[in-house]
Chains A and B, each alone.
Chain A
Amino acid sequence: MSSRRQFLHAMGVAGSGVLLGRWPAWAGGPEARYITIMGATSCISYVKAVLPEWERTHHGVKVAVTGGGSYAGLHALALAQADIAMADLAPPGSMAVPVRRYLLGRLPIVLAAWPHIGVDRLSWGQAGALLAGDIVNWRQVGGADVPVVTVSRPESSGAREVVQQRVLGTRRFSPDSIIQLSNGAVLRTVMETPGAVGYLEATAPMHRVRILSMGSRSFSPHAWRLWPLYAEPSLYVRVQAPKEVRNLAVFLQGRPKRQDFGIYFEQRPGQADAR
């Protein structure tokens, strides 16, 4: 009887801890304050690189950074599961929570192809037709006789949304596209798969793939202002967020180091515009 009571007691304690997501007060708990940053994977490397500098001046505040994509970050912000959302997209109209936006800059998105396709330049129409699967062989755009293989990202990707809006318009991505979960996986797939074409956030070294010019423009990190295809990675914070959270967002917006991670900017550091 006693052992059954012990078992039920232990189960009650464990169950309440698990179901409530926290332990009872008498079990002790962390006193540190936590800030969660979630969203676009394109911003993670930059945020992680500069975060220690902020944490050094904010003792007792622990910051967790996690990816998941722009959609996930914005959803999590709306549901109060994250304090700061990193997103390449504007919050959807259905998002009822008032938020403040901290623009980080521009993140160029380039079309990258397998090196031996024999094409350097595409019109916007050709690029859209390729990604939609309407052009099935590089010969159709003046290249080598190689079948086209399209590589894309999941629907949670902000880069995908930018390409959908700016390049494809009303068309959909080819149903034969290979879906890869990260920028790096897209890069590797494009590099190794004959005839492959995909889109990349220009945050990583892009050697061993062919970066395609679009219309009359060629991508160069030095002339990023002229490149027409880009996302605008931003941090989103709830208007009612604690001061510490807003302070962190301002800090992250103000570090020039983000250019080292492919996020180019021309705004004055610290500038924020409310939505």
Chain B
Amino acid sequence: MRADRIAALVMKGALALFIAVWVMVAVIVGAGAWRFVSANGLVGPLVSSRWSPLAAHYGILAFVVGSMAVTGLALVLAAPGVLALSVTGARILRGAPQRAFIQILTLFVAVPSVVYGWWGLSVAVPLIRRLTGTAGFGPLSAGIVLAVMIVPTFSIMALQTLRQVPSSLVEGSLGLGASEDQTLWHVILPASRAGLSQGFLVAVGRALGETIAVQMVIGGQSRVLSLLKPGATLTTQLLTDLALMPARTPGHDALDFMALWLMILMAVLVWLQSRVRGMSRG
């Protein structure tokens, strides 16, 4: 009984600490963003791509567009791999090979992002350089690195969803004379739509929030959109300029504004996820 009370207290303490930390982050970022908006307005920074914080130019358009472009590119590049891996793991492999396959995918989920960035420097950047004749640093390389990063996460979620499709649906389809491919496209995938959407949103979240792997290959310039020239995202610019503008300096508020935008984008993703969950239950 006493142990139960202690356990409950520990749990509540952990929850309280979590809430306190989260509130602290939100208050600090929100206060800085508020000061920034008060001084610079809300719309101006969002439609300008001129970023020179030491000269008080705080246009973040290039970083917002960069984040969305790199994330979108990663999702497009990852999609075929995710589909292939999840279908292989869920519908083709059975028994021990299937378990080994899932373990290997899980292992790739656990690889630190700096390792993916290193891979990007060693493989993706030279590849783009050879294919395009450019320096190789830019959103295209970043998109490739992110695609490789999100494939395992997205694949595992998709794989688990595909495995949950009732066998009666599959057998019914096959029994009516549909081929394996027709069953996959017209029965299994539509039946897994809600779970796949959730996996998709988790992958978007991971791609949008990734920093170090992207920073290593993107080039670091404030440019609205060129896939083959150096660019930047919200997260990479935050990393680059944190050193330049420590807390309680005017430019730091601009970083808080950027961080707030990231948090808003993430909050929208979480909201969408909950909507998708609701759909799947309904």
| Residue from the set A18, A71, A175 with the largest chain B CB neighbour count within 10 Å | A18
Kindly list chain B residues whose C-beta atoms are within 8 Å of the C-beta of A6.
8-9, 12
Which chain A residue shows the least CB distance to B239? A181
The minimal Cβ–Cβ distance linking A131 to chain B, given in whole angstroms, is 14
- Does B244 sit at the interface, judged by CB under 8 A? yes
The minimal Cβ–Cβ distance linking B116 to chain A, given in whole angstroms, is 16
The main secondary structure of chain B at its interface with chain A is helix
Known: A14-B17, A194-B129. A69 touches B243 (CB 8 A): yes
Kindly list chain A residues whose C-beta atoms are within 8 Å of the C-beta of B239.
181
Kindly list chain A residues whose C-beta atoms are within 8 Å of the C-beta of B12.
3, 6-7, 10
**Stretch from A72-80, A122-130, A209-217 contacting the other chain:** A72-80
Complex formed: what's the CA distance from A9 to B17 in Å? 11
Known: A11-B20, A18-B21. A154 touches B243 (CB 8 A): yes
Which chain A residue shows the least CB distance to B215? A181
Which chain A residue shows the least CB distance to B5? A6
0/1 per residue, A143-155, Cβ < 8 Å to B? Answer: 0000101000011
- Does A188 sit at the interface, judged by CB under 8 A? yes
Kindly list chain B residues whose C-beta atoms are within 8 Å of the C-beta of A19.
20, 24
- Does B248 sit at the interface, judged by CB under 8 A? yes
B side interface size, CB within 8 A: 41
- Does A177 sit at the interface, judged by CB under 8 A? yes
Which chain B residue shows the least CB distance to A193? B135
- Cross-chain contact B16 with A179 (CB below 8 angstroms): no
Complex formed: what's the CA distance from A188 to B8 in Å? 53
- Cross-chain contact B244 with A193 (CB below 8 angstroms): no
Choose one: B17, B241, B242; the contact of A18 (CB below 8 Å): B17
- Does A176 sit at the interface, judged by CB under 8 A? yes
- Does A192 sit at the interface, judged by CB under 8 A? yes
The minimal Cβ–Cβ distance linking A175 to chain B, given in whole angstroms, is 6
- Cross-chain contact B20 with A14 (CB below 8 angstroms): yes
- Cross-chain contact A10 with B230 (CB below 8 angstroms): no
Kindly list chain A residues whose C-beta atoms are within 8 Å of the C-beta of B135.
149, 178, 193, 196
The minimal Cβ–Cβ distance linking B254 to chain A, given in whole angstroms, is 13
Complex formed: what's the CA distance from A62 to B137 in Å? 40
0/1 per residue, A184-208, Cβ < 8 Å to B? Answer: 0100110011101000000000000
Which chain A residue shows the least CB distance to B229? A176
Which chain B residue shows the least CB distance to A75? B246
- Does B120 sit at the interface, judged by CB under 8 A? no
Complex formed: what's the CA distance from A156 to B121 in Å? 23
The minimal Cβ–Cβ distance linking A193 to chain B, given in whole angstroms, is 5
Kindly list chain B residues whose C-beta atoms are within 8 Å of the C-beta of A178.
135, 137, 219-221, 230
0/1 per residue, A54-84, Cβ < 8 Å to B? Answer: 0000000000000111011001100101000
Kindly list chain B residues whose C-beta atoms are within 8 Å of the C-beta of A3.
8, 12
Known: A156-B241, A156-B243, A179-B230. A7 touches B221 (CB 8 A): no
- Does A15 sit at the interface, judged by CB under 8 A? yes
- Cross-chain contact B137 with A72 (CB below 8 angstroms): no
- Cross-chain contact A14 with B244 (CB below 8 angstroms): no
Kindly list chain B residues whose C-beta atoms are within 8 Å of the C-beta of A176.
221, 229-230
0/1 per residue, A137-169, Cβ < 8 Å to B? Answer: 000000000010100001110000000000000
- Cross-chain contact A11 with B19 (CB below 8 angstroms): yes
Complex formed: what's the CA distance from A196 to B23 in Å? 46
Complex formed: what's the CA distance from A196 to B126 in Å? 13
- Does A180 sit at the interface, judged by CB under 8 A? yes
Complex formed: what's the CA distance from A256 to B229 in Å? 44
Known: A155-B54, A194-B129. A72 touches B246 (CB 8 A): yes
Kindly list chain A residues whose C-beta atoms are within 8 Å of the C-beta of B38.
none
Known: A175-B223, A176-B221, A176-B230. A18 touches B246 (CB 8 A): no
0/1 per residue, B127-138, Cβ < 8 Å to A? Answer: 001000101110
Complex formed: what's the CA distance from A147 to B17 in Å? 55
Query: CB within 8 Å of B: which of A5-31?
Result: 6-7, 10-11, 13-15, 17-19
- Does B182 sit at the interface, judged by CB under 8 A? no
Choose one: B125, B137, B240, B245; the contact of A181 (CB below 8 Å): B240
- Does B190 sit at the interface, judged by CB under 8 A? no
22 residue pairs of the A-B complex, CB under 8 angstroms, read: A11-B20, A13-B13, A14-B17, A15-B24, A17-B20, A18-B21, A18-B24, A19-B20, A71-B243, A81-B246, A154-B243, A155-B241, A156-B240, A156-B243, A175-B221, A177-B221, A177-B230, A178-B135, A179-B221, A179-B230, A180-B220, A192-B126
16 new A-B contacts at CB < 8 Å, known A68-B242, A79-B246, A79-B247: A6-B8, A6-B9, A13-B13, A15-B24, A19-B20, A71-B243, A75-B245, A75-B249, A147-B133, A156-B244, A175-B221, A178-B219, A179-B219, A181-B239, A188-B121, A192-B126
8 smallest CB-CB distances across A and B, nearest first, come from A179-B220, A11-B16, A156-B244, A15-B20, A68-B243, A14-B17, A156-B243, A72-B243
